[in-house]
Amino acid sequence: MTVQSLYTAATGMEALETKLDVIANNMANINTTGFKKDRANFEDVFYRQYRLPGAEDADGNRTPTGIEVGQGTRVSSTQSNHEQGSFETTSNQLDFAIEGDGFFQVQNPNGGFFYTRAGNFGLNATGQVVLGSATIGYILEPNITIPPEATDIVVSADGQVQIRTQDSTTLQTLGQLQLAKFVNPDGLLKLGDNLYQKTDASGDEQVGTPGQQGFGNVRQGFLEASNVEPVTELIDLITTQRAFEINSQVVQAGDQIMQIVANLRRLG
């Protein structure tokens, strides 16, 4: 039994290390545009059954309970909190925030699309609207190209993109932004670069116009901040550290008991 307690406590320490990694990632991305914080979920592992509930005792009576000893815990999943982050004013005409549900679509160079809540867009050498990235410029889908003569860019809440030029102060429509949403956004694959990719778990994307059919509105000149709450993460960090220490004390207690058992012969 003492040996088993060592392994059981070790599962708790291993699971808590994973939770600590999740907290560290949340804290590291406290200033990442559009970042959604994660949470580690735990589940107990299988049980050693010494006596099943409802088994007959020596008198033939059914026992109301059994004897079951658990073997520890493990991380069952990590889930993202897709709660809306706060808005940061930038006054940049190519900064967009989504107020509500939805993701921007950008083109995957290998085919298909990626999805993002980060709206820090810019222009590439040909005037196409692209996502600001440290690797490559992911082209916004639907593709919108801003001509060089444009002096002003106006994007409405429903995603309509218009410009003014040097020759005309009248707004000219260039295109229409569209958003994508998923039945299970937790099923999206996280790729880094503020990008997600759909999977069988997320289901296929539903594409629509901002402000319609449950899609969020587009806010020009704003960025959505990370929804990480530092105080909450620090409290979670403290409780995780204390839980790790408690599991380490169980290991120490098991070791001490084994040492006492090993010394019984000497004492005799």
Provide the pLDDT for residue 115: 97
Provide the pLDDT for residue 80: 94
Q: Mean pLDDT over all residues of the chain?
A: 91
* Position 134 confidence tier, pLDDT thresholds 50, 70, 90: low
* Position 266 confidence tier, pLDDT thresholds 50, 70, 90: low
Check whether 263 has a pLDDT greater than 90: no
Upper half-sphere CA count for residue 40 (Cβ side, 13 Å)? 22
Percentage with pLDDT > 90 across the chain: 70
Which value, to the nearest 10 degrees, does the dihedral of the CA atoms of residues 135, 139, 144, 150 take? 10
Average pLDDT of 208-222?
Answer: 95
Check whether 81 has a pLDDT greater than 60: yes
Provide the pLDDT for residue 196: 96
Provide the pLDDT for residue 116: 96
Strands (E), the chain: 38-44, 47-51, 67-70, 73-80, 87-89, 96-99, 103-107, 113-116, 121-123, 129-131, 138-141, 150-155, 160-165, 172-176, 179-181, 189-192, 195-197, 206-208, 217-220, 222-224
Check whether 41 has a pLDDT greater than 90: yes
* Position 68 confidence tier, pLDDT thresholds 50, 70, 90: confident
Provide the pLDDT for residue 137: 84
Average pLDDT of 118-138?
Answer: 87
* Position 102 confidence tier, pLDDT thresholds 50, 70, 90: very high
Q: pLDDT digit string (tens) for 139-175? A: 999 999 999 988 999 999 999 999 998 887 788 899 9
Average pLDDT of 197-214?
Answer: 94
DSSP secondary structure string, 101-130? S-EEEEE-TTSSEEEES--BEEE-TTSBEE
Provide the pLDDT for residue 63: 78
pTM: 0.86
Say how many C-beta atoms besides its own lie within 10 A of residue 16's C-beta.
24
Strands 129-131 and 206-208: unpaired
Q: How far apart are CA 89 and CA 91, in angstroms?
A: 6
